[in-house]
Structure 1
Amino acid sequence: MKLEGALYPWRFRLVLALLALMVGAISWRIVDLHVVDHTFLQGQGDARSMRHIPIPAHRGLITDRNGEPLAVSTPVVTLWANPKEMLGSRERWSDLARALGQDPKAFAERIEQNSNREFLYLVRGLTPEQGQSVLQHKVPGVYSIEEFRRFYPAGEVTAHVVGFTDVDDRGREGVELAFDQWLAGVPGKRQVLKDRRGQLIRDVQVTKNAKPGKTLALSIDLRLQYLAHRELRNALVENGAKAGSLVMVDVKTGEILAMANQPTYNPNNRRNLQPAAMRNRAMIDVFEPGSTMKPFSMSAALASGRWKPSDTVEVWPGSLQIGRYTIKDVSKTEGRILDLTGILINSSNVGMSKIAFDIGGESIYNVMQQVGLGQDTGLGFPGERVGNLPNYREWRKAETATLSYGYGLSVTAVQMAHAYSVIANGGRSVPLTMTRADRVPDGTQVISEDVAKTMQGMLQQVVEAPRGVFRAQVPGYHVAGKSGTARKATVGAVGYTQNAYRSLFAGFGPMSNPRIAMVVVIDEPSKAGYFGGLVSAPVFGKVMAGALRLMNIAPDNLKAEEQAVAQNAAKKGPL
């Protein structure tokens, strides 16, 4: 081309060359994207239509030690809506509201208020059948999500142990919270194609399989749990009590076989739940244990070598003055002088204090610490309290005396049950566990076996002696234990509440080979009386009797021929 009259013809040629290069580059890019490297455009298209939908994973099953389900996950349907899409079908809102069981007017107001949103829950936790009946109305903008909901077959019986999950299936109380990572599943992913309205076009593939949570077998025996729950509830009604707890421990393995609390709640229906009913009092409530601590003070005396069971102490006139502080025996003792067993049978504060003055408060503190009082139980239960076991640089008489008969310290019912299991297990302490133990754990000898065996015999006399706690006796079995009655400390002030008591009984059996340790705590009985031997001991006797039979443990308090028959029956197993 000849450019006539152009001052700079080379510029025109340069522009044409540049335009040609640009056209060539664009042409090459088009060919490259459609022929050579076509995956880019395909990926961009997929990004606008391909979606990943989560595949829900159910939580692990919680069972008792025998495989009975305590918490199971059931599939449910959650319905949600896109209010922006629903605005075009107002005439169908009333039918949808009625299908959901909601007021049409309130439903319409809710949609209007959230009209600028693209996601709104309509209802959660419907059964698949209920969800399908709503979806059949085919209202534009209404969609469903597959989820799982927790169901608790034992209901209020195991509520404080198992706990519950929230609406998003995360553990919020009890074992559900303590073992949340173990129980929680890992959701999967499913790849699908959707149009611009979000409608599902095609299910492409599963890109990641859902991984369900792991099964958890607790140490709880549901049969014993039902038994403990029933008797504790009856005791509260009979005595007009405010609350109560019962803990049962296998002394050989440290497994918690039952843990009941009253009042309780239904984890399947928490609409009218009272916060106070949610407290696992056996682990959370701390209290002064009263005379139930005397066996450990007595163990310290025996371990010192300065005392033996036949030694005597003068307890007359039933009171002891220490400065401005007076120690009194609650009930009249059977004589002016008592031996060590008699001090336990009569629950003499004066006799126990005189022994404590001789051996010193430090030795009593050491025994109580070794059996787990004032120590973390290691259960890892949410909200569990440690209690308080005081230690003084200088042990004065007042502190020594009060500690010896169970005041000035605070414990939980679980700690008490563990402490008594040490005596029942020949002075050997095994760690507590809420999960089923597959083997007997290694224990630690914290009290000499001779002292523990001696204490077993003395505590057996506390139950079986003429002046003993006869209401705790179990037909066909020898059992041991100690009652206690403790005044309740005033909340937010110094001193004790007037006419407010806790009734306690702690013991174990059978004496031929102790298997079960148990603690019963009744809070503020108000009818027949408040002494531990009157209120809590009968609960111990009834639950222990049922537990020994359910566990098929041979009786050890029968005549020779009856005992032989019972042992043969035990070998054959339950019918």
Structure 2
Amino acid sequence: MGLEGARYPWRFRLVLALLAAMVGAIAWRILDLQVIDRAFLQEQGDARSVRHVPIPAHRGLISDRNGEPLAVSTPVTTLWANGKELQAARSRWPELAAALGQDVRVFSQRLEQSANREFMYLVRGLTPERGQAVLDLKMPGVYGIEEFRRFYPAGEVAAQLVGFTDVDDRGREGVELSFDNWLAGVQGKRQVLKDRRGRLIKDVQVMENAKPGKALALSIDLRLQYLANRELRNALVENGAKAGSLVIMDVKTGEILAMVNQPSYNPNNRRNMQPAMMRNRAMIDVFEPGSTVKPLSMSAALQSGRWKPSDIVEVYPGSLQIGKYTIKDVSKTEGPALDLTGILINSSNVGMSKVAFDIGGEAIYNLMQQVGLGQDTGLGFPGERVGNLPNHREWRKAETATLSYGYGLSVTALQLVHAYSALANNGRLVPLSLVRVDREPVATQVVPEAVAKTMQGMLQQVVEAPRGVFRAQVPGYHVAGKSGTARKATVGSKGYTANAYRSLFAGFGPMSNPRFAVVVVIDEPSKAGYFGGLVSAPVFSKVMSGTLRLMNIQPDNLPAEQPQQTVATSAGNGGRL
């Protein structure tokens, strides 16, 4: 070996030089990292210990017009675990299961299946106190996250309107979904130091503050919402009905003061909720409005200038043949001929059809379109329907007649109350709003003022005349309205379902200065009867009565003061006045 080294001295020197160069490079790198470029190692160390933890942001408060809460965010604790770390504490699994209120066997199987996972939810949405009690067990691999959960103080009363959020606090139904961008907050971020096991060592600093969501004041008056919900629920029970909707609207501002649907659900506990309960029927369910649109057809007749309220129409014998179709009056009218008000009071299909033939279907179509039927309301509510208002190139008698008394078109309860608001507001239509309106909106004159005022008087007679819908009367107030009864169309085929009806009533008051419009829809009543004047009119009376009193509207129909002697005599006869 010595001989070889002596024979090739340059090889030996080359090996020594290479070894020296390697040692020098290593020494230089150590010097560079430890002295010259210290930031690199610090950065790498921080990457393994510095963490950015999200700061939860709560959603904005949803309240009614008076500030009563409809949806609030409450702090909760979510517990998660590192499945690998939990394997080292198998003896404490029963203790953890008991603290979480879970079955030990099922809980253990779940942890076994997640043995190789570094993240798994244990339970979400615990109260902070209960979550901290679990964390205080100091269980290896168990950690907590601060979150917010939505709570709905009004429960089922405003469920379909307000909607709800999912487990990640994102809007999924109703106002929570349609205003999600407005209500959702923006998470913040804070910097912390953690060890290799993920345990918190030090809270360093807040990098970004959380931005809470913006508050939203709805147009709903929670007092009226409770009133409407109670009366609608009672009506469904009394009449053995399948479902129902009720809407109260301020005709001056366009605000929806109450919108209720039955059956409903509790948004705070949705375990037994059925999908049908989630539907905001007042905005999603469409139906043929029946006789409730006769006032709109009659308004078109008055607007044409060809008709006035005192004009007489022959309705005998209560039926009218049009080709192979026969138009019939459901009930016997008070005579062989009726004036226009009498047509509305008796709800005569024959009389309404003859008036419609004279003015033409196009005139009725145009007015219905002007008051919002078949049109988008502009509310942007998820799943809202626009209904259908048919137009024909040639208006034949059959299409003209059916449109005039409420068949062949489809509307929602919200569209119907919007249309009646135009009549109540002297022919002026204002945009609808689910949000509180601070300034009276710009109104559009869609019906001549003189026509609207004439129609107000005619509809008042529909309620107050001897043959009128007396069940809709409101003690102490003059009100107006029209009942309707519509057969339910068969789903998936033509024609109508046997013995299936919707009972309707639409009206407004007080007549001294109409302020509130109400629509009641009761689906498939099955007990005493199904006519709108029998089933829905009493609900209108109770809801309108409560609304006028809660809103401090001065009565305009108080009885005249009786002499003292007359009162005493009446009392002596058992108080029957």
Give TM-score scaled by structure 1 length.
0.94
2:311 equivalent in structure 1:
311
> How far apart are 1:98 and its partner, in Å?
1.1
Q: Distance in 2 between matches of 1:508 and 1:448?
A: 18
Q: How do 1:541-560 residues align onto structure 2 when only pairs under 5 Å count? A: 541-558=541-558
**Partner Cα separation in structure 2 for residue 106 and residue 470 of structure 1:** 63
The 5-angstrom pairing of residues 141-180 of structure 1 reads: 141-180=141-180
Aligned runs of 1:17-36 on 2, under 5 Å?
Answer: 24=24, 26-36=26-36
How big is the shift at 1:26? 4.5
SS at match of 1:45: helix
Alignment-derived partner of residue 494 in structure 1: 494
The aligned residue for residue 92 of structure 1 is 92
Alignment of 1:72 with 2:98, yes or no, is no
1:323 and 1:476 map into 2 onto residues whose CA distance is: 48
Q: Secondary structure at the match of 1:384?
A: coil
Determine the structure 2 residue equivalent to 1:368. 368
1:27 CA displacement:
3.9
Q: Partners in 1 of 2:543 and 2:67 — Cα distance? A: 22
Bigger Cα displacement from structure 2, 400-409 vs 116-125: 116-125
CA deviation after TM superposition for structure 1 residue 426, in Å: 1.0
Q: Which moved more, 1:448-457 or 1:65-74?
A: 448-457
In the TM superposition, what is the alpha-carbon distance from 1:554 to its structure 2 partner? 1.1
Which deviates more from structure 2 when the two are superposed, residues 550-559 or residues 530-539? 550-559
| Distance across 2 between alignment mates of 1:232 and 1:204 | 57
Give the Cα separation in 2 of the matches to 1:94 and 1:16: 65
Instruction: Tell me the residue number matched to 1:569.
Output: none
How far is 1:319 from its partner? Answer: 0.3
Q: Which moved more, 1:62-71 or 1:190-199?
A: 190-199
Contiguous gaps of at least 5 residues in structure 2:
563-577
Matched residue, 2:283: 283
| Offset, 1:29 | 3.9
For 1:439, the aligned partner's letter is: R
Q: Aligned partners of 2:367 and 2:306: how far apart in 1?
A: 16
- In structure 1, what is the equivalent of residue 223 of structure 2? 223
1:445 aligns with 2:445: yes
**Does the 8 Å contact 2:5/2:12 carry over to 1?**
no
* 1:8-407 → structure 2 map (5 Å cutoff): 9=10, 24=24, 26-407=26-407
Mapped partners of 1:21, 1:73: distance in 2: 66
Cross-structure match for 2:575 = none
Q: What's the CA shift for 1:12?
A: 7.3
- Aligned position for 2:531: 531
- Give aligned-pair identity as a percent: 82
SS in 2 for 1:168: coil
State the distance in 2 between where 1:85 and 1:5 align: 63
What are the residue-to-residue correspondences of 1:451-470 with 2, within 5 Å?
451-470=451-470
**Deviations along 1:103-133, whole A, 9 cap, x unmatched?**
1111111111111111111111110111122
Displacement of 1:560: 7.4
Deviations 1:63-83 (CA, angstroms, capped at 9, x unpaired): 000000000010111111111
**Pairwise CA distance, 1:215:** 0.3
CA distance in 1, matches of 2:5, 2:40: 48
Q: How has the CA–CA distance of structure 1 residues 89 and 4 changed in structure 2, closer, same or farther, with 3 Å as cutoff?
A: closer
What amino acid is aligned across from residue 101 of structure 2 in structure 1? G
Task: Give the whole-Å Cα distance in 1 for the aligned partners of 2:31 and 2:515.
Answer: 83
- Which residue is equivalent to 1:514? 514
Structure 1 residues 4 and 90: CA distance shift in structure 2, 3 A: closer
Counterpart Cα distance in 1 of 2:7 and 2:371: 109
Q: Which amino acid aligns with 1:70?
A: L
Question: How far apart are residue 36 of structure 1 and its match?
Answer: 3.1
Q: What residue identity is the alignment partner of 2:489?
A: A
2:155 and 2:424 map into 1 onto residues whose CA distance is 32
Q: Distance in 2 between matches of 1:512 and 1:386?
A: 32
Indicate conservation of the 8 Å contact 2:186/2:210, yes or no. Answer: yes
Deviations 1:138-195 (A, max 9, x none): 2111111111111000100010110111111111111011111111111111111111
Number of equivalenced pairs: 559
Residue aligned with 1:158, SS = helix
**3-state SS in 1 of match to 2:301:** helix
Opposite residue 420 of structure 1, the aligned amino acid is: Y
SS state at 1:426 partner: coil
Structure 1 residue 257, shift from structure 2 partner: 0.3
Query: Matched residues in 2 for 1:122 and 1:80: separation?
Result: 5
Residue deviations 1:267-319 (CA, integer Å, cap 9, x gap)? 01111111111111101110000000001101111111111111110001100
Deviations 1:414-471 (A, max 9, x none): 0001000011111111110100011011111111111111111111111111111111
CA distance in structure 2 between the aligned counterparts of 1:449 and 1:388, rounded to whole angstroms: 27
TM-superposed CA distance for 1:23, in Å, is 5.1
Please list every run of 5 or more consecutive structure 1 residues that lacks an aligned counterpart in the other structure: 563-575
Change in 2 beyond 3 A, CA 1:36/1:510:
same
Provide the rounded CA distance (Å) in 2 between the counterparts of 1:13 and 1:116. Answer: 55
Q: Distance in 2 between matches of 1:12 and 1:208?
A: 63
Could you give the per-residue CA deviations for residues 522-561 of structure 1, whole angstroms, max 9, x where no partner exists?
A: 1111111111011100100100010011111111112578
Change (3 A) 1:308 1:195: same
Q: CA deviation at 1:35?
A: 2.6
Q: What residue is the counterpart of 2:566 in the other structure?
A: none
Distance 2:383 2:164 in 1: 15
Please tell me the residue identity of whatever aligns with 2:341. T
The corresponding residue for 1:433 is: 433
- CA–CA distance in structure 2, aligned partners of residues 347 and 25 of structure 1: 103
Counterpart Cα distance in 1 of 2:401 and 2:14: 109
Match of 1:366, as an amino acid?
N
RMSD: 1.7
- Look up the equivalent residue of 2:305 and give its one-letter code: G
How far is 1:38 from its partner?
1.7
Residue identity opposite 2:427 in structure 1: G
Deviation at 1:95, TM superposition (A): 1.1
Whole-angstrom distance in 2 between the partners of 1:57 and 1:561: 62
1:513, distance to aligned residue in structure 2 (A): 1.0
**Matched residues in 1 for 2:555 and 2:376: separation?**
35
